[in-house]
Amino acid sequence: MSDFEGTLIIESLRVGTDVRDLSLTLRDIRRFRPGATGAGQPEIWTALTFTVVEEQAIVVAHALSEVLVERGWYMDLRSSKETLVVFPDKVFRYERGDADGRARAQEHGSSLGIPEDQLDWPV
């Protein structure tokens, strides 16, 4: 079994979000200026980096897909074998190195107004 690692930008969550009982381990919290931001994105972000065991990764991905702001945001989770890309109300899952799977997720992200330079999760 392989743990998944992910980073959640707190500002990507809808106002009023209340997510509970996710089985994950918090690794770090940091605030930073991302440089290039998309329409409606703040200039300072708060990032939570976490890990989740493989059997809970899809549960966490779907829970977070239900609370992301509708446009301009996504997050990804990855293990040594797979990538989960989480958009509002949609999750893409593909094996690491699958160029077609990655391209489908990036195309969906572009359709949501996410700047191309932010669609840069690890291959």
pLDDT of residue 82: 97
Q: Domains of the chain: which residue ranges?
A: 4-118
> pTM for this structure?
0.92
Per-residue 3-state assignment (H helix, E strand, C coil) for 51-112: EECHHHHHHHHHHHHCCECCCCCCEEEECCCEEEEEECCEEEEEECCCHHHHHHHHHHHHHC
Q: Give per-residue pLDDT as tens, 30-61.
A: 999 988 788 788 999 999 999 999 999 999 99
Length of the chain in terms of residues written: 123
pLDDT of residue 27: 97
d(CA 113, CA 23): 30
